[in-house]
Structure 1
Amino acid sequence: MKIFDVIVVGAGTSGMMAAIAAAESGSKTLLLEKNKRLGKKLLMTGGGRCNVTNNRPTEDIIAHIPGNGKFLYSAFSQFDNYDIMNFFESNGTHLKEEDHGRMFPVSDRSKTIVDTLYKKIEELDVTLYTEAKVEKILRKENQIIGVQLAHEKIYAPCVILTTGGRTYPSTGSTGDGYKLAKRLGHTISTLYPTESPLISEETFINKNELQGLSLQDVCLSVLNTKEKIVVSHQMDLLFTHFGLSGPAALRCSSFVNQELRKNNSQPVTLSLDVFPEISLSDCKKKVENKLEDEPNKTVKNALKNLIPERLLTFYLNKLALADIAAKQVTEKQVEEFSSLLKGFRMSVVKTLPIEKSFVTGGGISLKEVNPKTMESKLVSGLFFAGELLDINGYTGGYNITAAFVTGHTAGKHAAEIAEYTYLPIDEE
């Protein structure tokens, strides 16, 4: 009979950190992974470079986790992004800071991060089983007693579920953890894609008029049915053959999905501002000055270099202004054009599906999880961490930070509880 103190199910970001924290606290720890290798999804993050965390104060990090980030305050008070940085630095993996506080390994390879975690797991004598799929969590009345694999039962008073969400199923994120948790009585909030490209059926998208056009530092806003702004993000944006991608679109995606859910999948309106730093009246002056400087040129030539040429042509064609002389443009036309620059409206019908998105929204209901320990409020000895929880952040190292923080918190507290928990092995 195999008996451990703590069993961690899933060797991704949160699972590896949970196993390390449990073993550091003195627990005899088993880490189970259904893939052949560890950290398969972590290897893909940050374009294969692994944006491991973000160098910002706790308040800022939590503000960048719009999906229930406040739940993390207690966990952050025990282990935060600076502790993540210290963990890697003290284990010989040096990090560097890039734009917006994003932290990467100096090697620019996510494999360095996975290798560091794996080396620490080995150092701490964590038992590791790969190609080990958990069929069932075992319990006796209201106490966890272990897990059932295909051909054996393994016992422990504490089990930490860290099986990931449902994005990138090829990495093993196929939603197993939700099923296991549901069988134990947990509620799963509706799963939806976040950090996902946006799909539009606008004619200009279908005709590929702006496909491949990249815009820097523009503001994209999601509007509700009353035309009020739900959220705005000032970042880069990319037009694609199916709609919109790039950081601004990805950050708006969870809000798009929430609006779609609220309004029976009615298309959601977005507004694009290419000059977010100036007011509409200043934008108008800018246009007027350019037209006055080149009165005999066509509007298209007079406004050259105002914005990228393809977008300029697109906007001018919408207003039938491209080929008239600059001096013939009326005040009303200047106003209409400036309004396009400050608030071009377009509709999106959905995002890419969850399997092709970066992050899963929704998950295990946080009402049923203790924020100090990550232990289930329904079943003693059951813990959760990582993307399985109903927590989601923006790209930029925030989701990985949440995974490391919840993983460490769950591992540490599972080890403490395992120390004094009696294990009644003859399960129901």
Structure 2
Amino acid sequence: MKYDVIVIGAGTSGMMAAVSAAEHGAKTLLLEKNKRLGKKLLLTGGGRCNVTNNRSKEEVIAHIPGNGKFLFSAFSQFDNHQIMAFFEEHGVHLKEEDHGRMFPVSNRSKSVVNCLSEQLEQLHVTIKTEASVKNILAENNQITGVELSSGETYQTACLIVATGGKTYQHTGSTGDGYRFAKKLGHTVTPLFATEAPLVSNEPFIRDKQLQGLSMQDVSLSILGPKEKPIVTHQMDLLFTHFGLSGPAALRCSMFVNKLLESASEVTAILDVFPEKDAPTLTRELELVKKEGANKSVKNALKFLLPERYLLFLLEKATIDENKPYKQMEPKELEKFVTLLKNFPIKINGTWPIEKSFVTGGGISLKEITPKTLESKVVAGLFFTGEVLDINGYTGGYNITAAFVTGYVAGKHAAQIAAYTNYD
């Protein structure tokens, strides 16, 4: 059977691509190897689905550190505000939470998946589940169709690969798109974990001294080869039994993995008072001396930090927690302030790609046309979503990139299919 557009993968990007292709007049087939659509989408945002982010287009792209600038052309055709409008128009009302994150009012990702499924049905998209693609068919660098593992073949001049990355593999994201791309002559850049917790072999981590300790609004920096910060994030942080987690750590993971390509470990710097410089902190702690001179060090400073971290830093600074605060030497105070502002933690890795939230790396963007998402290598072949070498921070940015690339690819695939049929 012949279709104008075939989409492989019924995830975030694939469903939107199929909706867009059908909206633009294409007879569309959507192939999904799972029993149901949107399996990974159902898990996002803790099962609530962080649909997109309400920041400006420029800010959203700035929060996609992995080649976000490539998306400017796609965003000029369909952006985060149009994603919101799409769902509102189709009955999924959204609400804004912290940092611009947009969620369905229902707090259920199923609302989002059902909305997309209903649109596919209304637009008469043919959906085949439990349909695993074995090969993409092409002749003379032109897409001709697909062959399923069952032996069935379908003809098309326009094919959209929306197979996802290599995270959440139990949802079907097992890297099929990379295999297809390589076979068709595309370059796949090295894959790595992003938005992943950081692993540390520091003795205090192994001994679980700080396990479970949560720190609010702290700053975590990753030092580059010249011992200067290459990235800094001021967010919440969680100490775990294996290292560091929480938003600040997750956002640094991409940069950690890039550095670990040429080093065995990297240094993270924790600053628990990012809004104050060292001289200001020193002056404030000197004033405390006057107010609570007879108190022990740990009692005089208990207002400053969670007790476990306070005692941990005092130990690191070799300061007796029980001695009178008035007896603290200037050099001891200086050392303590340095640790507050500049505590180094050796990082040895991140969680593996299979356990991370987002895949870094992917199909080389040099081989993709930004305006259409069509391959420069094979005519009629499009790539969307996480299979591309694009990755963003958590907070609705990756799902935005998936919806945007899906919509734009669907639109252009439908237009090309129309020209092909006309010819």
Above 0.5 in TM-score?
Answer: yes
Which secondary structure does the structure 2 equivalent of 1:315 belong to?
Answer: helix
Unaligned regions of 5+ residues in structure 1, if any? none
Shift of 1:178: 0.3
**Per-residue CA distance 1:159-191 (angstroms, 9 max, x = gap):** 000000000100000000100011000000000
The answer as to whether partners of 1:145 and 1:423 remain within 8 angstroms in 2 is no
Cα distance, 1:262 vs structure 2: 3.0
| Aligned counterpart, 1:241 | 241
Match of 1:271 in 2: 269
Q: Are 1:86 and 2:48 matched, yes or no?
A: no
Normalising by the residue count of structure 1, what TM-score does the alignment of the two structures yield?
0.97
Partner of 1:3, secondary structure, is coil
Q: Which amino acid aligns with 1:230?
A: I
SS in 1 for 2:362: strand
- For residue 225 of structure 1, report the CA deviation from its aligned partner: 2.7
Question: Match of 1:255?
Answer: 255
Match of 2:303 in 1: 305
Q: Quick check: 1:291–1:303 contact (8 Å CA) kept in 2?
A: no
**Partner Cα distance (1:42, 1:287) in 2:** 49
Superimposed CA distance per residue, residues 89-131 of structure 1 (whole angstroms, 9 cap, x where no aligned partner): 0000000000000000000011111111101111100000000
TM-score after normalising by structure 2: 0.98
Can you list the C-alpha shifts for 1:120-153, whole angstroms capped at 9, x where unaligned? 1111000000000000000111110110002211
Q: 1:44-193 residue pairs with structure 2 within 5 A?
A: 44-150=43-149, 151-193=151-193
Alignment of 1:389-404 (within 5 A): 389-404=388-403
Give how far 1:286 is off: 1.8
User: For 1:381 and 1:226, how far apart are their aligned partners in 2?
Assistant: 45
Does residue 201 of structure 1 match 2:207? no
- The Cα shift of 1:305 comes to 1.5
1:292 Cα deviation from its structure 2 partner: 2.6
Report the counterpart of residue 313 of structure 2 in structure 1.
Answer: 315
- Structure 2 letter corresponding to 1:281: P
Paired residue secondary structure (1:85): helix
1:157–1:423 Cα contact (<8 Å) kept: no
Name the residue aligned to 2:224.
Answer: 224
Q: Which residue number in structure 2 is paired with residue 213 of structure 1?
A: 213
The residue type paired with residue 256 of structure 1 is V
Secondary structure, aligned partner of 1:262: coil
Q: 3-state DSSP class of the match of 1:34?
A: coil
Match of 1:362 in 2: 361
| Identity within the alignment, % | 64
Deviations 1:46-69, CA, capped at 9 Å, x for gaps: 111110000011110010000000
**1:422 CA displacement:** 6.0
For 1:226 and 1:19, locate their aligned partners in 2 and report how far apart those are by CA, in whole Å.
47
Paired residue type of 1:317: E
Letter in 1 for 2:412: H
Instruction: State how many pairs are aligned.
Output: 421
- TM-superposed deviation, 1:201: 0.3
Q: Tell me, in whole angstroms, the C-alpha distance in 2 between the residues paired with 1:29 and 1:422.
A: 14
Moved over 6 A (4+): none
In structure 1, give the amino acid aligned to 2:251: R
**What corresponds to 1:293 in structure 2?**
291
Looking at structure 1, the residues matched to 125 and 215 of structure 2 have their Cα atoms a distance apart, in angstroms, of: 48
